[in-house]
Amino acid sequence: MRTTRTTTPARPVLTTALALALTLTTAGSLLLVHPGTAGADTGPATRDSPAVDDRRAAKSPESTARRALAATPARTAADARGYPREQTLAPDPVNPADKSLRLGLVPYHAIAGRLNALQRLGDRVSVEVAGRSAGGHRLYLVTVTAPESRAQARAQHRMRDLIERAPALAAKDPRLKSAYKTPVFFNSNIHGNEWEGTDASLRLIERLATANDARTRELLAHSRLYFNITANPDGRIAGTRANAGGFDLNRDFVTASQLETRAMRQIMLDKQPAVMVDLHGYVNGTLIEPTTPPHGENYEYDLFLKNTYANALGMEAAVNGLGYTPRKDGVEPAQIPFRDQQEGWDDWPPIFTPQYAAFHGAVAAHTVEIPLRVNNASYDTLPEAELRRRAAINTDVADAAMTATLTHVRRHRAALVADQIEVFRRGAAGAAQVPVSAGTVPGVPGIGPEDVYTTVFPRAYVLPAGGPATARLVDHLLANEIRVTRVAHAVPGYPKGSYVVDMRQPRRGLANALLADGRDISDKVSVMYDISGWSLGRLWGAAVRPVTDGRLPYSVLRPVRAAAPVAAVAPRGDLRLRLDDPRELAALNSLLREGVRVRQAADGSVIVPGSARRRAAEAARTYDVAFGRATARGTTPLERVRVAAAVTPGELFALREMGFDVVPVSTAVLNAGFDWSAVDVLFVSAGLDRDALDADARRDLDAFLDGHGLVGRGAVGAELNADAGLLPVTAVRGNEDANGVVRVVNSGPLTDRAPAHGFVYAPVWFTGLGSGVRVEQSYAAGNPLLSGHWRPAADGTGGPADAAGRPSVVSGPDAVLFGTEPLFRDHPKGEFSQVGRALLTMGSTQVEESG
């Protein structure tokens, strides 16, 4: 559940167009081979995307498609093995503590054995290990389809590539329409304590493996069905929503910080599903997307709504058709938010699995919330028999939803694939979006102006070559299969070495979602389900410049597969390392762990002695950072800073990413007795309440803060600061529903060279600044919100106007307080260094004083 703050097919014969378009070179690149020139060298012009007049390209979409095929490397041919792809999975040790057992569900340790048995049922089921979880558990991807020879699988592979890489050609190919197998993706158990999707999937796979009726044979002859059996095995075992790293995986798709998220991303990239269902719990009655407004402005919503709503109706009928009733079973009728609710369940951010899948061609993508609660307090308080009754009903509901989806796919596969092709065609051709309306989406009731969300895509984005932030962003774009080129020779407006994202590409929606500033949608709905602003350029500290019109200089653009390395070390003299990026903090902390004597300069950078050049070179390669030649001397000695952290899981992840030695603490940990001599500084944002400490724990905390520094974030950090009497300020809490990208003004050494934008989630600002308080950063004047949702509270206070011009980060001798969210869910990478510098400052102050 989302929680708010909410028989073997005939061998495909490739047509002339398909055969001409798809020739795999030994290097694995897709090159266009023109009639009469098979095997000829296409020459540098073809390989490097020659300059083409954009007006002519617009008139000839096939020309644009052929250029795309020529310029873009193909997916790996390893995916072209035939089916089935069977393997025997080694068993996992039996774990009697697995939380699934109490519900009568399949524990994680039994899944490998179940999958081995399913593979033995016939020739339709294949099992692959798609990756590992944060806790080290295997992630299983099951494919169910009619058997395919290696040649048939290669043909499917090529057709899938044609759909995404040359959609204008794919739309005209009759054999593709008849022979391509529609990809369908079922994702289960992404929230670990929402279990039953896994069990329903295993049940459905068994049925599909053995059924011999005509409809099943037809379905499997024309579809590939992919099942991610448990997306979050750590949480399934532990009975937690999050993975072993503490992350909600269904909020991670913009940044893909977690191993499980990257595995799901790769499934969507490799399999390119036209339909996907993400199984959750628990909403009674069963909640089936599509959603209420606002709708993501970057995807082709007319195609998405048409297909998602049609499939939702089928799922609704199937779920209600099970015969469960409110009076007898406690099960309410299913609901479709788009039809049945006004707002509160939006699909605005691509942090959720179905919304992210839409950018990879899923034209019907759903979150399905099965009905009866069995987690959290219910798990601990209800009798086991009642929990098992509920879990059995939930498994039936999840099964019904998936089975109905397969019926829809069997009946409408040609239209689903055609619409997927159209999503990619619009992107590649630079076509305008089609605003949703009753005319464009027939049969969908109640479409109004509140459902119309579109955007104007720029012609391109230019990312000037820079440091780690730019390299990180380029590699992230490439990991999402967004095409990026680099300028080989400078031309006006395009410096040599800069990166160019041509927005005439199939995944333009995702490219824009990651790179654009976004929109202030505060006036559109009263409250958002989750975050509503996330611009990676603004938040990661990378310069991103939109190009609104004109022709691109194709003659100087070269496709890239990875960002150029940043790593460098000045050949002589002492070395200077900027601390503007988490990688630079990680490099610094690695040197400190090795005992390198480092000093901090007045501008916040650090000076490394030339005698440590070899170690600096190792750090440069490891973290891909640059050590320049020092022109100033460091004044403040730095040592390793050991951090006691009462923080969110995302913040703990960020601190460790920056290489800090971190000891998690909380109210309970301190009450149990804590050795404060093992740490140098305290970072607090969550889970520590001084008033809830016993007398001994409170005394020990106060004694530590009397001689050591505090870094506080948000209301919890500010409250501890006030209780301890450290920094004379008053913290003002804004609307707790507010979130987004904000404009800020940096004015202190901790924020020197920081991005001019930050992120807020329940923003805080500071007033009543007393003696010795320095303003490090303030919210911008006017309306500081760039993109997201920030309204005043019901009483008219706490809005962006109240925050405008107010300090957002303040510091003093004993504390640094943040009113922004500089480490939020791995999103605002460009702000990480502010926290890193604050920890170093507070820790090194104590080193200096004690020295």
Kind of pairing between the strands at 606-608 and 598-600? antiparallel
Using CA atoms, how far apart are residues 379 and 391, in angstroms rounded to an integer? 11
Using CA atoms, how far apart are residues 185 and 140, in angstroms rounded to an integer? 13
DSSP state of 102: G
Using CA atoms, how far apart are residues 598 and 640, in angstroms rounded to an integer? 10
Do 159 and 421 meet the contact criterion of CB atoms below 8 Å apart?
A: no
Do 626 and 469 meet the contact criterion of CB atoms below 8 Å apart?
A: no
Per DSSP, which regions of 567-660 are E strands?
Answer: 568-569, 575-577, 598-600, 606-608, 626-629, 636-638, 642-646
414 conformational bin, left if phi > 0, alpha if psi -120 to 50, beta if neither: alpha
Do 421 and 308 meet the contact criterion of CB atoms below 8 Å apart?
A: no
Do 785 and 740 meet the contact criterion of CB atoms below 8 Å apart?
A: yes
Q: H/E element holding 215?
A: helix 214-221
Q: Quick one: which of 554, 508, 513 has its CA closest to 164? A: 508
**HEC profile of 766-798:** EECCCCCCEEEEEECCCCCEEEEECCCCCCCCC
Give catalytic status of residue 369 as yes or no. yes
- At residue 244's C-alpha, the angle toward residues 240 and 250, to 5°, is 65
Q: Quick one: which of 369, 368, 367, 386 has its CA closest to 378? A: 386
Classified as helix, coil or strand, 739 is strand
Q: Quick one: which of 186, 184, 252, 250 has its CA closest to 223? A: 184
Kind of pairing between the strands at 223-228 and 182-188? parallel
Exactly one of 289, 297, 369, 584 is catalytic; name it: 369
From the DSSP assignment, how many helices (H) and strands (E) are in the chain? 29, 34
Task: Show Cβ contacts of residue 290 under 8 Å, excluding neighbours closer than 6 positions.
Answer: 304, 305, 308, 309, 312, 336, 337, 338, 347, 366
Do 466 and 542 meet the contact criterion of CB atoms below 8 Å apart?
A: yes
* Phi, psi angle pair for 785, to nearest 5°: -75, 120
Q: Determine how many CB atoms are found less than 10 A away from the CB of residue 328.
A: 8
Cα dihedral across residues 79, 233, 351, 828: positive or negative: negative
Q: Determine how many CB atoms are found less than 10 A away from the CB of residue 718.
A: 26
Using CA atoms, how far apart are residues 274 and 263, in angstroms rounded to an integer? 18
Q: Give the relative orientation of helices 108-119 and 196-210 as an angle to the nearest 10 degrees.
A: 10
Task: Show Cβ contacts of residue 509 under 8 Å, excluding neighbours closer than 6 positions.
Answer: 298, 299, 300, 358, 359, 423, 427
Cα dihedral across residues 441, 445, 446, 450: positive or negative: negative
Q: H/E element holding 129?
A: strand 125-132
AA letter at 499: Y
Residue 719 token pair? 């409250």
Using CA atoms, how far apart are residues 745 and 768, in angstroms rounded to an integer? 19
Do 574 and 630 meet the contact criterion of CB atoms below 8 Å apart?
A: yes
Residue 379 token pair? 């798990």
AA letter at 462: V
The set of catalytic residues is 369
